[in-house]
């Protein structure tokens, strides 16, 4: 993943990391034993944003009643698995701030904060897509069904090593994953500058200029037709817009 980030930073002017205005509230993940909800007060910095299915894990949210304890901080182990995974990933990427909708938006201000989702995902340095998880209790950094077979190879110099084969990785993950059935995810995909998708079998990198699969079996320019972050260019066809609306209509709102 670091390779994709560094390559994007070095080669892509439209999607490289930048310092951006922060969402109204965001979590500081520098200290894993005290994750604090902070008021950003118009400051700018780098941050990650989580795209996830809430599922049945709806107890760990910021409300009027829980705001004070969220601001005081919680231990990483208190959070649902998907949040823990996002916190760890953000921390290990050297980014200090993470935005999660159910923690950053308090129930009573959904109307105002919900309208800012375009900026939240558009300004994030990276959107972490928990694609393979249908419930926040399950997480997305889970053991994958990787090894299909192995071969012991010996070089001409006498050194030997194992080569592991993965049948599924030969075919890019094009199946519908749990998060792909959720309408909000389509919005988050279209608005984000760059996203890393944690699919069942592999990671997929999506930025404005590339879609790359962990297996290396796909590396194609991104179709700009679904880039809806600014005014649409004249060459965006009605067909592309219809395709976007049709896809949105087939997904669920929950
Ligand atoms: Zn890029």
Which segments of the chain does DSSP mark as H helices, in order?
2-11, 67-72, 81-92, 101-104, 110-114, 117-123, 183-191, 238-250
What's the pLDDT tens digit per position in 159-177? Answer: 888 776 665 554 444 566 7
Alpha carbon of 118 to ligand 1 centroid (Å):
18
Alpha carbon of 208 to ligand 1 centroid (Å):
5
Alpha carbon of 16 to ligand 1 centroid (Å):
6
pLDDT at residue 6 greater than cutoff 90: yes
Residue 126 lies in a domain: yes
Residue 40 lies in a domain: yes
Residue 168 vs residue 22, higher pLDDT: 22
Alpha carbon of 67 to ligand 1 centroid (Å):
36
Alpha carbon of 8 to ligand 1 centroid (Å):
4
The answer to whether residues 129 and 85 touch, using CB atoms and an 8 Å cutoff, is: no
The pLDDT score that the predictor gives to residue 40 is: 93
The pLDDT score that the predictor gives to residue 247 is: 60
The pLDDT score that the predictor gives to residue 8 is: 92
The pLDDT score that the predictor gives to residue 33 is: 94
Residue 146 lies in a domain: no
Alpha carbon of 167 to ligand 1 centroid (Å):
28
Residue 245 lies in a domain: yes
Alpha carbon of 6 to ligand 1 centroid (Å):
9
Give the mean pLDDT of 60-85: 93
Residue 161 lies in a domain: no
The pLDDT score that the predictor gives to residue 88 is: 97
Rounded mean pLDDT of the chain? 80
- Compute, in degrees rounded to 10, the torsion defined by CA atoms 187, 193, 199, 203: 170
The pLDDT score that the predictor gives to residue 236 is: 46
Residue 160 lies in a domain: no
pLDDT at residue 237 greater than cutoff 80: no
Alpha carbon of 146 to ligand 1 centroid (Å):
27
Domain region containing 98: 2-139+168-250
pLDDT at residue 93 greater than cutoff 90: yes
Q: How many CB atoms lie under 10 A from the CB of residue 161? A: 9
Alpha carbon of 71 to ligand 1 centroid (Å):
34
Domain count, the chain: 1
Residue 245 vs residue 98, higher pLDDT: 98
**Percentage of the residues of the chain whose pLDDT score is greater than 70:** 72
Residues 231 and 195: their CA atoms lie apart, in Å, by 21
Alpha carbon of 10 to ligand 1 centroid (Å):
9
Residues 96 and 140: their CA atoms lie apart, in Å, by 20
Give the mean pLDDT of 113-122: 81
How many residues does the structure list for the chain? 254
Residue 40 vs residue 164, higher pLDDT: 40
Residues 196 and 177: their CA atoms lie apart, in Å, by 14
Residue 156 lies in a domain: no
Alpha carbon of 195 to ligand 1 centroid (Å):
10
Residue 15 vs residue 233, higher pLDDT: 15
pLDDT at residue 222 greater than cutoff 70: no
Q: What's phi and psi for 36, nearest 5 deg?
A: -110, 140
Residue 199 lies in a domain: yes
Provide the total of helices (H) and of strands (E) in the chain, helices listed first.
Answer: 8, 13
């Amino acid at each position: 993943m670091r390779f994709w980030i560094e390559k994007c930073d070095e080669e892509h002017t439209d999607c490289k990391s930048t310092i951006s205005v922060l969402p109204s509230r965001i979590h500081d993940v520098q200290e894993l034993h005290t994750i604090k909800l902070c008021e950003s007060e118009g400051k700018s910095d780098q941050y990650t944003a989580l795209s996830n299915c809430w599922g049945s894990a709806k107890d760990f949210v910021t409300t009027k009643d829980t705001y004070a304890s969220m601001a005081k901080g919680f231990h990483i182990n208190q959070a649902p698995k998907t949040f823990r995974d996002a916190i760890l990933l953000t921390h290990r990427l050297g980014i200090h701030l993470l935005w999660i909708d159910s923690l950053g938006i308090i129930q009573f201000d959904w109307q105002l904060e919900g309208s800012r989702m375009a900026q939240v995902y558009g300004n994030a340095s990276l959107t972490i897509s928990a694609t393979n998880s249908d419930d926040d209790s399950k997480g997305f950094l889970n053991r994958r069904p990787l090894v299909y077979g192995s071969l012991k190879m010996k070089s001409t110099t006498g050194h030997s090593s194992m080569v592991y084969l993965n049948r599924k990785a030969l075919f890019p993950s094009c199946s519908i994953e749990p998060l792909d059935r959720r309408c909000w995810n389509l919005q988050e995909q279209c608005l984000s500058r760059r996203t890393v998708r944690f699919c069942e079998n592999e990671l997929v990198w999506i930025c404005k200029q590339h879609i790359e699969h962990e297996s290396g079996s796909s590396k194609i320019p991104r179709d700009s037709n679904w880039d809806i972050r600014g005014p649409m260019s004249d060459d965006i066809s009605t067909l592309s817009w219809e395709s976007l609306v049709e896809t949105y209509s087939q997904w669920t709102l929950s």
